[in-house]
A and B are shown apart, each in its own frame.
Chain A
Amino acid sequence: DAGVTQSPTHLIKTRGQQVTLRCSPKSGHDTVSWYQQALGQGPQFIFQYYEEEERQRGNFPDRFSGHQFPNYSSELNVNALLLGDSALYLCASSYQTGGETQYFGPGTRLLVL
């Protein structure tokens, strides 16, 4: 049973660029949540997707956007990158939006120079 997968594993971008990160949920899961984890901090909730719609959003600017596809996979897009966007981006999957039992992928480490 494949767990949550994310791509790419690492990424280096420069300020002002745009980035797209990808996530495939665990088999049987239909909800994807994205988190940002700065070094030495706990993950912070960005947003959640269910039925191809954004259901909840954390305190992140509109530069952060996402998408969910019919096969439940998801993308996270960040525009106009800032140095402070450097972090580990984590995708978590669950069954339906009330699923507190979330399983995380390995993350994408983004470095903005």
Chain B
Amino acid sequence: QKEVEQDPGPLSVPEGAIVSLNCTYSNSAFQYFMWYRQYSRKGPELLMYTYSSGNKEDGRFTAQVDKSSKYISLFIRDSQPSDSATYLCAMSANNQGGKLIFGQGTELSVKP
């Protein structure tokens, strides 16, 4: 069993839709949770960073962490064609000194 599970998709939505992306994990020591966006043939770009449980909002993006369920989510409101990319969740523990464990990534396509 992988430490971090993420549905690879692909996920296709119409422009303006609300997108929900999710990851589950097995290591209860994870405290830091991140979402990265990766365009084709580019490096990952940090979108959201959350410590422990709770919600965090930044513009059209909202990250949620539920440590009791070992489940994290990223919501994208009013999705745009420019949001078409692969979304990677990543997490790490206090004692791992910044070693990030990534999910497989979900490929998102937003159609005009």
Contacts and interface: CB of A to CB of B under 8 A. Distances in A.
B16 interface: no
Interface stretch (B44-52, B64-72, B73-81): B44-52
Contacts of B45: 104
B102 A43 contact: yes
Candidate in B4, B42, B90, B97 with the most chain A CB atoms within 10 angstroms: B97
Contacts of A22: none
Contacts of B34: 100-101
B44 to A, nearest CB: 5
Given A90-B43, A104-B45, A41 B104 contact: yes
B102 A56 contact: no
B32 interface: yes
A65 interface: no
Contacts of A102: 46, 98, 100
Given A33-B98, A40-B8, A101 B49 contact: yes
B42 A41 contact: no
B56 interface: no
Interface of A: 4, 6, 31, 33, 35, 40-45, 48, 55-56, 58, 90, 92, 94, 97-107, 109
